[in-house]
Structure 1
């Protein structure tokens, strides 16, 4: 009688060393892969802690149609996949970004602002902000919503207008004290603003000046004139302007278009001019903008109003010195997702799951 062949056994993946599992988990820059990794078994789940996830690439979040929204749609640049997540908390509310981990959610029925994790559904209610203008959703923009503001203690910064549109108001939520700090300045009547290390940088679209506000003493400490006219000149029909914190630098990023109304036809004529803010003064020198030709290993992610920066060192599949941006036609009819290679000075269209607009969020399970 012939001997029976031994039955091949599947390897027991649960016995892999924890340090090896942790190394593999740290190499998963798309959170959907991180979730699948954790679902393999108990050992893998304990080796991939949601409180210490690998660096994540932003997802494009569709924000249009908030009144009847039952699901949220995300698009992953890394996988090229669309993810749909049920989100009853977002129905009838508006969402604002860009953001890390938590996006700004405004409950239109209760006049309540929250930090909202669209992946987990976790909602953190912020104290009531008793300023009437804040409830006009079109006039409120996030300036800074950093990584895990609940645990990090970093402020959440919003920018808006007064009801008469003559004065701008900067509102900083302090997570430790659980209270708002409000700064009112005429120079804040702008949608181009960024925050870094207690300083708020506000770009005045009319004059081109940039004002630096110390949020501790609540005063303007610098007024920086615009770059030379040939490097900066821009108007609503021919481009867009952004202020972005990138690797510790404050950047003035200006998109020049031949014809903004025909944004999808003239992409070959698009160019970004980038300036770094040099705040060093002395020897007769004043703070100024310095034009640069590279942002190194940084990648900028811009929506229609604001943006943030990440390092490509955490994402081997993506090149640095580039800009991913969402732009809307001047007539507000269509939005486009594009990538700009700074070294080659070349823009290219990317697949966009929504023509009605969206923003960026760094996904998180926290």
Structure 2
């Protein structure tokens, strides 16, 4: 008898969600502050899709959607939030997944970006997937894991005719932008660091009207947040950490004396790596100019002894050197990703370099998952 009562109670406690009043759906969606949560919500059924906005009501860019122009420029800037996710189909017999890069701003819709060019897929691919707008993303049957987050600076425009293109064109003079400290910090303490104008480090305190250029003779190739600290690497491979309060640079590593034209910082397994890229052409030119990677050297910083170690084996990992950020992947966890390989943009296309045999080749795609694009609802 007690078992029957328990089953009756469970039935009484169960809720038929689709039977809830329609006016409750917008109220529920307003509590979803992440883009992926909202996409999952909208993918459930046509009723939920039509009753909710395509972007979260509270995003990290709300406090600073429009930024002042950097020195020697009169163009105002827009800050875009970019997130990298690992996606996996739970019904798949394989544990492998894919990566997907999503970028958005309060004023513009969510878009899927290429991790190498930082351009929307529809602009950076000769033969893009049939549906490249996130309004057609079918995320309901996928598990998503948040891997990392970055930011990028774009030209701001109110021109409606340029709406679909111009806001998504990254500044060609900008190498990278990082919001520091983390997003969990108060808005008042955050600063935006940008490598701009051939590697000069520009800093903007959120809420201020003018950028500050760090008084340092060196130009920098890359920057990264490692163990809660912001680091930069200069043209010869010396790493320094940035005191975010005083804006002073403190040397952290010995000089690498790498002869490549471009240094990239990567964190993997708790270690800092510098990838030294030998390039024909000018890598600091605008993104649509031609340049080609002809050789790659990888070095790991031994922080305990303060020395550089040449690396020939990444231990099953691969490095992805994107336009706006770098990251490492455990190759066995991703379709098409090969261990001990580096992926980057070269000669106007994605390319890979294998440390095992020092060979270049066109990479197998591990972004994004092909079956992700399935039109389910009409907007």
TM-score (norm 1): 0.49
TM-score (norm 2): 0.47
